[in-house]
Amino acid sequence: MADESTEKTEQPTPKKLEDAAKKGQVARSKDLGTAFVLIGSAASLLVFGKMLASGVLDIGQRMLQLDAKDIFETNSMFTAWGAVGEKLIPPMAGIFIIILIAAFIGNTLLGGFNFSWEAAGPKASKMSPLKGFKRMFGLQALVELLKSILKVIVVIGIAYLLLKVFFFDIMALSLMSEPNNIESALHFLAWLFLGLCASVSVIAVVDAPYQKWNHIKQLKMSLQEIKDEYKNSEGDPQIKARIRRTQMQMSMKRMMQEVPKADVIVTNPTHYAVALKYEQGKFRAPIVVAKGVDEVAMHIRKIGNEHKVPVIESPSLARSIFYTTKLDHPIPEQLFAAVAQVLAYVHQLKMYKKGKGSRPRTLAKELPIPEDFRH
């Protein structure tokens, strides 16, 4: 029994479609592009056909009126060729622009605009006779053959129908006098051409959805391919976890290196610990240089004791600073008063130990902490 994880049953992911587009693999319908070009050509003849016919007729009359003297006269010939350009260039340019726009729209409507150097480059596989035979006698070749037969049948059928319906109108053109017969013939021909092009568009309407479906089918993925793509794009979860652990360890090491520089450590006393540093004139407010809970808090207290950093127990203040202040950030203004009392107590205690002042009063158990800052 086949492994379900290897069966290509899943729709291609956006990354799969993007990678395929980079290789030039996008949904394309040649019939859609052809239909747009043909319809654009017919439409351009309808728009500029009368101007083109009038210009051709005028040029023909001018050229037939040239005598031997004009032929050997340089200025006369340049004047004649200037008239040719003046009459033919505007309608020809209009026809060319309309066809160019139709070709661009028809070839980019399905799959969008896409250019790939990889697809444009030479490939050895395209020159392989074996793969060439596979393309010639494969399923895709059979589909193209059936489409070609269908196109011939449809075009011949529509052409026969148009000629049958407009047979007497075509015959009536021979009874018209010039220049009306030329302009009318070209105008009539443009409408017949448009009818034939409309028959080709019927094939394009069927072919475009098929090419889209076939393109998606070729890019379908298995569950294992989707998992592998996610792992490659997002990274191996184990490697990412290892990187996060390494980053946390490095961050923890840097934080612990700042603990000896702290002015005071405020504790919970056991679960929380925050180390504060304040340099007057350098910082606007005390900075949190280290903080942590449980084992980290215990490690902060241990380093503080080793370096004789004062440790003050104030559960409410320790929790408030821990939850409201990020590492290496100043404490919020709402905690200035409470932290100021702690720093003043620490300073007085240092002076007392140096014999330069009296013993400070015991720090108040309830410090001025706003209710919305209590945790």
| Nearest CA among 41, 1, 4 for reference residue 223 | 4
Do β-strands 272-277 and 287-293 pair in parallel, antiparallel, or remain unpaired? antiparallel
Q: What CATH code is carried by the domain that includes residue 287? A: 3.40.1690.10
Number of domains present in the structure of the chain: 2
C-alpha Rg value of the chain to the nearest Å? 43
Domain with 211, as residue range(s), is: 14-112+152-220
Q: Please state, in angstroms and rounded to a whole number, the distance separating the CA atoms of residues 295 and 324.
A: 20
Query: Is 196 in the same domain as 297?
Result: no
CA-based torsion, 222, 143, 161, 44: positive or negative? positive
Q: How many CA atoms lie within 13 A of 153 on its CB side?
A: 7
For residues 210 and 314, membership in a common domain is answered with no
DSSP 221: B
Establish if 18 belongs to a structural domain. yes
195 and 247 housed in the same domain? no
- Do both 199 and 305 map to the same domain? no
Q: Are residues 253 and 339 in the same domain?
A: yes
Of 167, 189, 220, the residue at which a domain comes to its end is 220
pLDDT confidence of residue 182: 66
Residue 117 lies in a domain: no
Residues 210 and 254 in one domain: no
Q: How far apart are CA 84 and CA 64, in angstroms?
A: 13
Tell me how far apart the alpha carbons of residues 276 and 273 are, in angstroms, rounded to a whole number. 10
Q: How far apart are CA 262 and CA 120, in angstroms?
A: 65
Strand partners, 293: 272
Are residues 212 and 328 both part of a single domain?
A: no
pLDDT (tens digit per residue) in 356-369? 777 777 777 778 88
**105 belongs to a structural domain:** yes
Tell me: the pLDDT tens digits for 84-117? 777 788 888 888 999 899 889 888 888 777 766 6
**How crowded is the C-beta side of 280, counted as CA atoms within 13 Å?**
2
pTM: 0.48
Which tens digits make up the pLDDT trace of 141-160?
777 778 778 878 877 888 88
Q: Is residue 303 part of a domain?
A: yes
Report DSSP state, residue 328: T
Q: What is the DSSP letter of 131?
A: H
